[in-house]
Amino acid sequence: MASVLIVYYSRGGHTAKITQAMAEHIRQQGHLCDVVTVAEAQAIDWDKYDTLALGACVLYGSYDKSVFAFANQYQQQLNSKPSSFFSVNVVARNPEKRIPENNKYLQKFIELSAWKPKDVKVIAGKVDYPSWRWYDRWMIQLIMKMTDGPTDPKAVIDYTDWQDVNCYADHLIDLTQ
């Protein structure tokens, strides 16, 4: 039985939903999976886990500073076991941008993080204009306009490939073996 820990940062809840789906899938295969937010990740019993994953959503071209702080503080633990980083962003609505080498946000994490993940994944996130603050909505509409994405302020579009999320969860189990 594998034992997996997924630490995540989510602002609007979609990365949390992806993480929970992964955890459920891992548990359904008879393995153990714990999930904690970056903010909660204070007293982790690292010995309990075979595989570690860190996931975060992209916000204005980067990640919340707590994500980098976590990777910096726990790089030794992350390097001591099979570990993976996943990035959630809406540029990845374009399948080509789901290839890690083609996704600038994934590359940015590798560049800026003290922990250099050997295993990485890009997951398409969600556009949810109605739930975003006016300033965020306005800024993302602007970015979308430049990249031929949706700009309707009522648009709620889930770009996540949930089948692929399950495949990544299986991959985390495989990393253990």
Binding site for ligand FMN (CB under 6 A): 10-15, 57-61, 88-91, 125-126, 132, 136, 140
Least gap, CB of 22 to ligand FMN (angstroms): 13
Task: Considering the complex, state which of residue 40 and residue 174 has its C-beta at the smaller distance from ligand FMN.
Answer: 40
Burial class (CB in 10 A: 0-12, 13-18, 19+), 6: buried
Q: Which amino acid is at 132?
A: W
Task: Considering the complex, state which of residue 58 and residue 173 has its C-beta at the smaller distance from ligand FMN.
Answer: 58
Least gap, CB of 160 to ligand FMN (angstroms): 8
C-alpha 96/C-alpha 94 separation (Å) is: 5
Q: Which residue is nearest to ligand FMN (CB)?
A: 125
Query: How would you list the strands of the sheet with 51-57, edge to edge?
Result: 32-37, 3-9, 51-57, 83-89, 119-124
Task: Considering the complex, state which of residue 79 and residue 131 has its C-beta at the smaller distance from ligand FMN.
Answer: 131
Task: Considering the complex, state which of residue 10 and residue 113 has its C-beta at the smaller distance from ligand FMN.
Answer: 10
* C-alpha neighbours within 13 Å on the C-beta side of residue 50: 12
